[in-house]
Every structure is written in structure tokens, then in C-alpha cells.
Amino acid sequence: MQKRTLGTNGLEVSAIGLGCMGMSFGYGEPKDEDEMVALLRAAVERGITFFDTAEIYGPFTNEKLVGRGLAPYKGKLVIATKFGFDIDPSTGANLSALNSRPEHIKQVAEASLKRLGVDVIDLFYQHRVDPNVPIEEVAGAVKQLIDQGKVRHFGLSEAGAQTIRRAHSVQPVTALQSEYSLWFREHEKEILPTVEELGIGFVAYSPLGKGFLTGAINDKTKFEGNDIRNKLPRFGPEGMKANQALVDLLAAVAERKNATPAQIALAWVLAQKPWIVPIPGTTKVKRVEENIEAATIELTPRDLEQINEAAAKIDIVGERYPEQMKSMTGL
């Protein structure tokens, strides 16, 4: 597996990481824990060194799963987790209740260390920007955790350019994690130039469009009742039918490259900048293997030009998230 470096302080990770949320949360019922432990270890054995979780996934259960699954490799991997929500242990996650007060950040860090079974959090993201807490205070709290040896690197998720700059002036930001794929490219306007200027890495979540860009989903697909895609406008019948044109484009390129649409989607993300790392999620070992192979696919400048020209003619239908879910756009 090729490696990439996030930020300017030498955080080296596999070119493709593994998003772990869907193992416990978001896409239907939680998966069998023993099977997911086996998947996590299979990912490590195949070269993945970068794993993404968060306290809110479950809540709490995904961190415990990742901690258990990766325990045999303690100190040899990069595990990223996140803070920023108020979570009632008895009732679970309230996705509209943000909390990045410094004292809360420190409490989350201590709890995450225990659940993950590690001595230090490799990369600690603010999951969503909290409008009630100045970002300088957030960065300062994480700086203290870094000084105490409890956190190695500071990250942000779905933050705007000015927020990134303000945070970076207090504690260098190693990585920004935000959604990025061929069907969501808004960050190319201002965010990617900002992080490039500041020397911040970019971690692309949902690089496969929450599964849509794999070609395995269409307008007749039925999701489990508690699958978040039921609430997303892009996954309504109209959106999926219209957006199929993008999948068809990927499939056409995949045929030429002897690859799959998912691999082309990931290869496209990788080709944008050498400091971008996609973290596709999956619950199947065969998909882990498929995703890893994407790092070996070379898209030439002409390939990329053709993809971009064709994609520019496709109007993506549907918002990423409905209005009532705006606070969870970092998930």
C-alpha cells in the first residue's frame, strides 16, 4: 500500500484509509461485532494503516469495536476519532446538540482513550464546528491535550476557510476531514486551496457517495429503516435516477481501465492532490480489497480531463442533507 502524509508534522498514513462508522451506526442495524473485528484485522493485513471512528458512532460502540479489533497492532496504526457533540449516555446521540467547550473536549478525550484502548489519540477532530465556542478555545484545548501527550494531531471536520485559518493560528491543523467525491466538489472552490496554502492534509469521507458511486444502488434500492440514506434527498428515487449518469460515466472509464466504478471513483479522488486521503467505509472484506486496489490505478491527465469534461455536463440532483440534518454533515 502506498503512503501519504497529512499535514507538515509527518503524519504518514496509507493512501486509502477505512471509515468505520457503518460497522456500528448510520447504515442500518449494527453489524456482527466478531465479523467486524475480523474485517478490521483483514484491512491491516492488506496494508491499511489509517482508521476513522468517532464517539458519536453508536454512540460509543464504534470506538470500542475499533479498539478491540486493532488491539493486536497497538502503536503501529493511525486511529482518528472525534469530539463535538453532547451525548446523553442513557438516551444516545442528539445530533443537533453541539458541545466543543474545552472542559468537554478533555472529558471526551479521556473517554475515547479508554474505549480505544490506546495511550494517545493519533488524530483528534472537531466533528462539527460549534458556533457557541470560539474556535481559538477549541484549538487551545486540543493544544493542551497534545502538550500532555494524550493527542498527537489536531483535525477539523466540515469547517469553513476562515475557521480553519483561526484554528491553525493557535494549534497547527494536521488534517481537515470533509465530504469529497466526484458528486460533491464544493470544497474545490475555497477549502482545498486554503488547506494547500496552510500545509494541511485533506481526508475525504464518503468518497464513494455513501455507496452510490459503486453502481450497486439504484432508484429501486430499499434501505433498512434506520439507514440515514432514507433521509437524504440525493437518495430519493428522483435523485438516484438523475444521478445515475455519473455512475454510468464511472462505469465507462472502469471498463477501459479493467476496474470497477468504485475503484475509478477512488482513483479520481487520489489523483486530485498527493495530500488527499479517501476513507471509504465498508463491512465486507472483498470491498476492502477492491478499494485498496484503487490505489494502483493510474488515471492519466487525459483520463482526468475526459472525466471532468463529462462530469461537468451532469447536473447532480438533490442536496447532500435535508435542512434538519445540517448539523450532522460531518458524519
Known active-site residue 57: yes
Strands 92-98 and 121-126, by their bridges, are unpaired
DSSP assignment of 42-109 equals HHHHTT--EEE--TTTTTTHHHHHHHHHHGGGTTSSEEEEEE-EEEETTTEEEEEEE---HHHHHHHH
Instruction: Output the nine-digit C-alpha cell for 273.
Output: 492532490
CB-CB neighbours of 218 under 10 Å? 12
User: For residue 101, what is its C-alpha cell?
Assistant: 467547550
- Rounded distance between C-alpha atoms, residue 1 and residue 78, angstroms: 15
What lies within 8 Å, CB to CB, of 7 at 6+ separation is 153, 172, 173, 174, 175, 199, 200, 201
Of the candidates 27, 57, 125, 205, the residue annotated as catalytic is 57
Catalytic residues: 57
